[in-house]
Structure 1
Amino acid sequence: MWRNLKRRELLFDHRISNKDKIKSMIEGVGIIMLLSLFFYRSLWAVLFLSPLFFLYIKEKNKSLVRKRRREIKEQFKDAILSVSANQKAGYSVENSFRQAYGDMVLLYGKDSPICEELHNIVIGLGNNIILEKLLYDFAKRSRTEDVLEFAQVFAAAKRSGGNMTQIIEKSVTVIEEKAEVEKEIQILLAAKQMEQKIMNVVPFGILLYIHVTSKGYFDVLYHNLPGIIIMTICLGVYIMAVLLSRKVVHIEV
């Protein structure tokens, strides 16, 4: 069973589901075809623009990883709240985590990131692996600051023989306060992120409008070498603007 746990640890590291991978690939193909038609009016341009497909997949994967980290942080906060409540009810620290797994299954479902991790912890405890190591392994896999800080504080408290109920309760308070600040920042950024997405599609709206209302207006820019060079430069500027705007509105909390 411990060997299976090790294998799951390797697979868990921010893995992206097959559903998300397929969705990203479909979106990437759609975007490449859209760029080919708008900037070159030729499906042959798909071959020339194929590197952008891999760039999109890379950026999309980063976005999915950030989303998964946010999920882990939010769910971890609720898990530690459950652990703290179980401690106050008289459970040992280890049994508090076992009980927290059941609570998180009811709250988020077995397939949620936190339930997968708590299940690993329950299995590890059943194999006499110390809780400090299991928490630290969780922190390494999740690459989440809240989990790492909790694992470090927990390990230090265990070694020094501190009051675990008090320490966990204090950790819960700190995590909750940090989560509130992060929520406020995300709310403030949400409007700007929406504006950024709208601005990304505005150039296509303008091109489509001119194409519909003034047919042939842009014909001089297609299917000839000077036009291809100009449109390639425009495409490069557009891509740089999109990447820059994403960096501006994305703040890692």
Structure 2
Amino acid sequence: MKKIQEKIRGFVPCKRAAPDKQAGGRAVDYRNYRLTERELMVYTIQGIGTAAFVGYIFYHSLIAMVFLLPYVPFFLKRKKAELRDVRLRELNYEFREGIMALSAALGAGYSVENAFREALADLRLIYGDDRTITREFRYMAGQIEMNVTVEKLLLDLAERSGLEDIKSFAEVFATAKRSGGDLIMIIRSTASRISQKAEVQREIVTTMMEKQFEQKIMSYIPFFIIFYMKMSNPEFMEILYGNVTGAVVMTICLVIYICSVFIAGKITGIEV
């Protein structure tokens, strides 16, 4: 069973492990998401259940359910993408608090290296030890003790996350440190800009989530209609099951449904 789970998990490889799961503090690649054992089990069951439900509704056949099982890897891939996007949004929102804590430590007279340790202490009070930004600052503080430069760590975080705000901050920070600029002013102005942008993004995401929820509800309606007709008037639906013509008609309907859901997902899945 373990080998099967590893095989399923491996169809979208993750290059690095999460920092909180590595005693040595290895960096996590936020562009990829690795499902936990529990998530893998839950979403695999959900995928199998979805395939079985579709097979029953559209074909009323156990064989059709088996043929629809290849949908499970695609279901897992979609869930990984959703969880990855949630984690990236979380990191982007929390990064603002991180650089604000860093700015406060620099304003108190700490060096850049020590400021990260002080910022880590503040983030632990705000978010606790298990949040994304806390784990990331803990990782960077450990790397600083190993004489890795702050500029390199920030640029590495920007590369691993792929977030434009972190990349911009890392580049500005590196330039200011090399040229002897006012780091406190630069960090505060950058934090203010990121904060304003984050608030706008939060409003857009909230609005889009409402539309996405509506789209999900609409995507379930055809199943409920077919199920209701099967339960209320089974003789009327019987012609669609157990024969080639009915299977062809239901397959065409299923293809149209999948295309509609895909197009609706593209419309409501606008990146912000």
Supply the distance in 1 between the matched residues of 2:166 and 2:127 (Cα, whole angstroms): 18
Equivalent runs, 1:184-203 vs 2, <5 Å:
184-203=203-222
Unaligned regions of 5+ residues in structure 1, if any? none
Q: Of the candidates 140, 146, 170, which is equivalent to residue 189 of structure 2?
A: 170
Change (3 A) 1:17 1:82: farther
Q: 1:124-160 deviations in whole A, cap 9, x for unaligned?
A: 1101110000111111111212111111111111111
| Structure 1 partner of 2:33 | 15
Matched, 1:152 2:168: no
Do the aligned partners of residues 105 and 7 (structure 1) sit closer, same or farther apart at CA in structure 2, a change above 3 Å counting?
closer
Q: How many residues align?
A: 250
| Structure 2 portions without partners, runs of 5+ | 1-21
Moved more, 216-225 or 108-117: 108-117
Partner of 1:73: 92
The question of whether the paired residues in 2 share the 8 Å contact of 1:14 and 1:141 is answered with: no
Compared CA separation, residues 98 and 14, structure 1 to 2 (3 A): farther
State the match for 2:162 in structure 1. Answer: 143
Q: Provide the C-alpha distance between the structure 2 equivalents of 1:36 and 1:109, rounded to a whole number of angstroms.
A: 45
Q: What one-letter code is carried by the residue in structure 1 that aligns with 2:48?
A: V
Structure scoring higher RCO (CA < 8 A, sep ≥ 6) equals 1
Alignment TM-score, normalising by the size of structure 1:
0.92
CA contact (8 A) 2:158 2:166 kept: yes
Bigger Cα displacement from structure 2, 180-189 vs 88-97:
88-97
Aligned to 2:264: 245
Superposed counterparts of 1:1-253, under 5 Å: 8-9=26-27, 14-18=32-36, 19-253=38-272
137-146 vs 161-170, which moves further: 137-146
* Percent identity over paired residues: 39
Could you say which residue in structure 1 is the equivalent of 2:19? none
Q: Aligned partners of 1:48 and 1:23: how far apart in 2?
A: 21
Q: CA deviation at 1:6?
A: 7.8
Q: Distance in 2 between matches of 1:74 and 1:167?
A: 19
Q: Distance in 1 between matches of 2:142 and 2:255?
A: 51
Q: Deviations over 1:89-136 (max 9, x none)?
A: 222222221112122223223222212211111011101110000111
Which has the larger displacement, 172-181 or 139-148?
Answer: 139-148
Q: By percentage of residues, which structure has more helix?
A: 1
Letter paired with 1:55 = F
Contact 2:33 2:83 in 1 (8 A): no
Change in Cα spacing, 1:86 to 1:133, as seen in structure 2 (3 Å) is same
Tell me how far 1:59 sits from its aligned partner. Answer: 1.6
Q: Alpha carbon RMSD of aligned pairs, Å?
A: 1.8
Task: Give the TM-score taking structure 2 as reference length.
Answer: 0.86
